[in-house]
């Protein structure tokens, strides 16, 4: 395992990548209304990223699975029981759905990676609670992202909170280091033991991304080879920020 510590110039690029990514997610969130297709959201994101002199970081990402083509789009748009990696399509959004949007932006060779989940119109009380619990899980993970702590402290903060609320964390997918590559060391699990794992040091940049299910955290991949959904069809949510470990407070690089 090699964890890359970023220098000041690299961090400046990552700040800009993160800022652009945040602007794009906010624009997509505003555009997401009943009747809009997920492909229209994708085109909006691609246009905005390129207008900022940056590139979509997910486009052409290798699947790692023989026979499954590289990722074909800018966004992951995952609906209801879909957790991550939903491929934009002609599907139209409907009121009452929850939508998870994950976006990556590469600027000057450095990547910002973040995700949000929100309701289209009015969601069920359970969906609202799921979204709030997952959002709070990310905040608790970020609060643990301090120099001298260990990766397991982040993991435990997320898991403890989510399970205390009666929901489950997913085991198949994790947060990760991020920088020149979309996925760098270390793996940042959403479950774990305090005081274990690599020590956090200033200059590390981590993508924290709690993925939470209402039902059992059992997943499958749909026939397109990418879209990940819950086996029992129950709702799930996903929030993500790219975070810089500093000498003091953690800096969220993908916040507006």
Q: Which is nearer to Mg ion, 115 or 214 (CB)?
A: 115
Smallest distance, Mg ion to C-beta of residue 209, A: 5
Smallest distance, Mg ion to C-beta of residue 70, A: 16
Q: Which is nearer to Mg ion, 97 or 190 (CB)?
A: 190
Q: Which is nearer to Mg ion, 26 or 247 (CB)?
A: 26
End-to-end Cα separation, the chain, in angstroms: 32
For residues 183-204, b (16+ Cβ closer than 10 Å) or e, as one string? ebebbbbbbbeeeebbebeebb
Sequence-distant (6+) residues with CB within 8 A of 2 are 185
Name the token pair of 254: 């993908």
Closest CA to 173 of 96, 89, 106, 76: 76
Smallest distance, Mg ion to C-beta of residue 91, A: 20
Q: Which is nearer to Mg ion, 27 or 92 (CB)?
A: 27
Smallest distance, Mg ion to C-beta of residue 207, A: 4
CA pair distance 156, 190, nearest whole angstrom: 7
The H-or-E segment that residue 69 falls in is none
Smallest distance, Mg ion to C-beta of residue 61, A: 11
Interacting residue ranges for Mg ion, rule: CB under 5 A: 102, 113, 115, 207, 240
The H-or-E segment that residue 125 falls in is helix 125-143
Q: Which is nearer to Mg ion, 80 or 113 (CB)?
A: 113
């Amino acid at each position: 395992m090699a964890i890359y510590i970023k220098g000041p110039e690299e961090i400046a690029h990552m700040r800009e990548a993160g800022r652009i990514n945040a602007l794009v997610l906010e624009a997509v969130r505003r555009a997401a209304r009943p009747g809009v297709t997920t492909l229209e959201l994708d085109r909006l994101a691609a246009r905005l990223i390129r207008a900022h002199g940056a590139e979509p970081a997910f486009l052409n990402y290798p699947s790692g699975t023989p026979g499954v083509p590289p990722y074909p789009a800018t966004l992951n748009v995952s609906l209801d029981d879909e957790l991550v990696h939903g491929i934009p399509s002609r599907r139209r959004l409907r009121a009452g759905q929850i939508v998870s949007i994950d976006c990556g932006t590469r600027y000057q060779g450095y990547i910002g990676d973040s995700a949000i989940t929100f309701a289209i119109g009015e969601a069920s009380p359970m969906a609202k609670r799921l979204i709030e619990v997952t959002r709070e899980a990310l905040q608790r993970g970020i609060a643990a992202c301090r120099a001298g702590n260990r990766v397991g402290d982040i993991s435990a903060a997320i898991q403890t909170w989510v399970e205390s609320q009666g929901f489950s964390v997913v085991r198949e997918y994790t947060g990760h280091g991020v920088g020149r590559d979309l996925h760098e060391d270390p793996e940042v699990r959403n479950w774990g033991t305090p005081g274990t794992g690599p020590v956090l040091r200033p200059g590390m940049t981590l993508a924290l991304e709690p993925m939470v299910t209402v039902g059992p955290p059992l997943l499958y991949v749909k026939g397109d080879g990418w879209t990940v959904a819950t086996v029992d069809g129950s709702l799930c949510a996903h929030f993500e920020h790219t975070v810089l470990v500093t000498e003091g407070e953690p800096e969220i690089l993908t916040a507006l």
